[in-house]
């Protein structure tokens, strides 16, 4: 039996579904697939597998199947598995959501910086999903409590990153979007302000991303692939400000902190990224006036200068490609403008 290893809990991803593949042995006796997979996949519960099958997330020989399907020798099995951490029940809370687009299948939300996406340790209320649960209850009064937890999430972005997220509102959308994220066909472009003058106008960073071996809250780039998971980021310079650079990043994979880790690995931490050293002066003079200018910028944009500006995918129902783009938020835009003005003085000095 050929089986991909199960996801390791220490290697997180912003994509909340992962794919397993296995082939049934030649001599395998017919048995229900839920029973078969429970005995083959470490930590898998029969109940969770059955839920995945009901959503069409388990396929045999390219076709979705039900839990009572009996496997046959040499069957090819693919499982799109929810790898998100266990969460507490979602408590619906009224809050103002910036819903960028919504139809019967998907909801596109422009998440502000500072908002946690889903409840977790220390953040059980006030998260995006608390607001989504309330929104759904208002529009779908009969929605079940079982549907509300982590409703429709197939990916996430960091608390202090702003920008676009897509949530699925139907089983079909969940299945289709999970597959698109896994297959890396979803278009995700970010705008970031990074320290120093990025040398190349464009480039690609290929370095695994995984937990830092000593500081477990941080992630690290492993260019030789000795730890973590494969991560690929394409970047392009938008504008140069001398001591900082405005760039566009296109994700090919979606690892936790991927852009932040990759740009730090390149020697260009994100502006005001307190995890990876961007919250201090990385490039520039030591003169008090310059330090005051940078501190003023820090006070305006009080988080890493990273915005998920563009999101594109194939719509689950229509089969048409759709693209969404939201403007850079005020805090980042104001700091970008300040660096643009400062760079004029810098170039003329």
Closest CA to 160 of 301, 335, 6, 320: 301
Angle, helices 330-348 vs 288-300, to 10°: value is 160
Dist CA 180 CA 157 (whole Å): 17
Rounded CA-CA distance 254/158 in Å is 12
Nearest by Cα to 23 from 7, 38, 36, 10: 36
DSSP-H helix ranges across the chain: 33-40, 46-54, 128-139, 171-182, 258-265, 288-300, 330-348
Three-state secondary structure call for residue 232: strand
Q: What is the pLDDT of residue 193?
A: 98
Give the pLDDT score at 2: 42
Q: Please give the model's pTM, rounded to 2 decimal places.
A: 0.82
C-alpha–C-alpha distance, residues 174 and 123, integer Å: 25
Tell me which residue of 202, 198, 311, 194 sits closest to 261, measured CA to CA: 194
Q: What is the pLDDT of residue 216?
A: 77
pLDDT of residue 115: 93
Element (H, E) at 111: strand 106-111
Q: Are strands 162-168 and 306-314 parallel, antiparallel or unpaired?
A: parallel
Contact 52, 34 (CB under 8 A): no
Residues carrying an active site annotation: 158
Domains and CATH numbers, the chain: 17-82 (3.10.290.10), 99-182 (3.30.2350.10), 187-348 (3.30.2350.10)
Q: What are the structure tokens assigned to 270, written together?
A: 């994100």
Interatomic CA distance for residues 57 and 53, integer angstroms? 5
Region of 131 (left: φ > 0; alpha: ψ -120 to 50; beta: rest) is alpha
Q: What is the pLDDT along the chain (349 residues), one digit of tens a residue?
A: 444 443 333 345 566 666 778 889 888 889 999 888 888 776 677 777 887 787 777 889 988 888 889 999 999 998 876 645 455 567 889 999 999 999 989 999 999 999 998 777 667 788 998 899 889 888 877 665 555 545 678 888 999 999 999 998 887 888 888 888 888 899 999 999 999 999 999 999 999 999 888 887 899 999 998 888 999 999 999 999 999 999 999 999 989 999 999 999 999 999 999 999 999 999 998 789 999 999 999 999 999 999 999 999 999 999 999 999 999 999 999 999 999 999 987 665 5
Residue tagged 């302000």 (tokens): 193
Helix (H, G, I), strand (E, B) or coil at 167: strand
Q: Kindly state the tokens that stand for 190.
A: 């970010």
What DSSP letter does each residue of 3-48 carry, written as one string? BPPPPPTTS-BSB-EEEEEEE--TTPPP-BHHHHHHHHSTT--HHH
């Amino acid at each position: 039996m050929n089986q991909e290893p199960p996801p390791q809990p220490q290697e997180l991803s912003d994509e909340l579904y992962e794919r397993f593949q296995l082939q049934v042995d030649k001599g395998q006796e017919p048995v229900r697939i839920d029973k078969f997979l429970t005995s083959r996949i470490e930590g898998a519960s029969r109940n969770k597998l059955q839920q995945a099958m009901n959503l069409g997330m388990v396929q045999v020989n390219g076709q979705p199947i039900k839990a009572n399907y009996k496997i046959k020798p040499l069957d090819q099995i693919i499982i799109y598995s929810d790898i998100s951490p266990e969460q507490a029940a979602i408590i619906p809370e009224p809050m103002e959501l910036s819903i960028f687009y919504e139809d019967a299948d998907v909801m596109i939300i422009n998440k502000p910086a500072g908002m946690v996406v889903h409840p977790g340790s220390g953040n059980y209320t006030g998260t995006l999903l608390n607001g989504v649960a309330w929104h759904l209850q208002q529009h779908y009064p009969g929605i079940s409590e079982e549907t509300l937890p982590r409703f429709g999430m197939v990916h996430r972005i960091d608390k202090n990153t702003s920008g676009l997220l897509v949530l699925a509102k139907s089983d079909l959308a969940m299945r289709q979007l999970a597959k698109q994220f896994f297959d890396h066909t979803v278009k995700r472009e970010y705008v970031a302000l990074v320290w120093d003058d990025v040398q190349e106008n464009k480039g690609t960073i290929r370095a695994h991303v995984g937990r830092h071996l000593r500081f477990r809250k941080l992630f690290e780039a492993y260019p030789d692939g000795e730890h973590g998971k494969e991560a690929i980021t394409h970047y392009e310079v938008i504008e140069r400000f001398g001591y900082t650079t405005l760039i566009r990043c296109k994700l090919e994979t979606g690892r936790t902190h991927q852009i932040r880790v990759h740009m730090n690995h390149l020697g260009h931490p994100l502006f005001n990224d307190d995890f990876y050293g961007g919250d201090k002066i990385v490039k520039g003079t030591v003169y008090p006036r310059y330090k005051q200018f940078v501190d003023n910028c820090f006070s305006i944009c009080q988080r890493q200068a990273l915005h998920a500006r563009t999101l594109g995918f194939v719509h689950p129902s229509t089969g048409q490609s759709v693209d969404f783009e939201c403007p850079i938020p005020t805090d980042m835009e104001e700091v970008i403008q300040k660096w643009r003005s400062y760079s004029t003085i810098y170039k003329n000095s």
